[in-house]
Amino acid sequence: EVQLVQSGSEVKKPGESLKISCKISGYSFTNYWIAWVRQMPGKGLEWMGIIYPGESDIIYSPSFQGQVTISADNSISTAYLRWRSLKASDTAMYYCARRHESSGYYVDYWGQGTLVTVSS
């Protein structure tokens, strides 16, 4: 069974750093692209970027380039999303999502989401 299990909710202060994770199981981690998607409170889905763990290929949305860092650790089948210095506007739900790799490049599996709250 394919599963994307994300790390738990976080409450941080502005200026703090944070790294959230997405642990994959049920398939070969290095063979599928993993995307990160932001959903601010009451708002829509925003694509942040995507990583192909097999080749460490990473594409960032221009809107998020330089604001976050996407990475992966193939040895533990885990993808990460990192912030160096959080802002209140980073408060959101963050989803990791697997890209389907045949007959359409849609998201076929989602993580359960990680709620990040940034408040002083």
Partner 1 sequence: SYELTQPPSVSVSPGQTARITCSGNALPKQYAYWYQQKPGQAPFVVIYNDSERPSGIPERFSGSISGTTVTLTISGVQAEDEGDYYCHSTDSTGTYWVFGGGTKLTVL
**Which is it for strands 3-6 and 92-99: parallel, antiparallel or unpaired?**
unpaired
Q: How many residues bind partner 1 (CB under 8 A)?
A: 23
**Which is it for strands 78-83 and 69-73: parallel, antiparallel or unpaired?**
antiparallel
Q: How far is the CB of 67 from partner 1 (least distance, A)?
A: 15
Q: How far is the CB of 15 from partner 1 (least distance, A)?
A: 28
Contacts of 114 (CB under 8 A, 6+ apart): 6, 7, 8, 9, 10, 20, 93, 94, 95
Assess 108 for contact with partner 1 (CB under 8 A): yes
1, 41, 75, 106: which one binds partner 1 (CB under 8 A): 106
Distance CA 84, CA 93 (A): 18
Assess 113 for contact with partner 1 (CB under 8 A): yes
**Residue 79's closest CA among 116, 37, 29, 117?**
29
Assess 62 for contact with partner 1 (CB under 8 A): yes
**Residue 96's closest CA among 17, 4, 3, 28?**
4
18, 29, 111, 114: which one binds partner 1 (CB under 8 A): 111
Assess 18 for contact with partner 1 (CB under 8 A): no
Site for partner 1 in 19-48 (CB under 8 A): 35, 37, 44-47
Instruction: List interacting residues with partner 1 (CB under 8 A).
Output: 35, 37, 44-47, 50, 59, 61-63, 95, 100, 103-108, 110-113
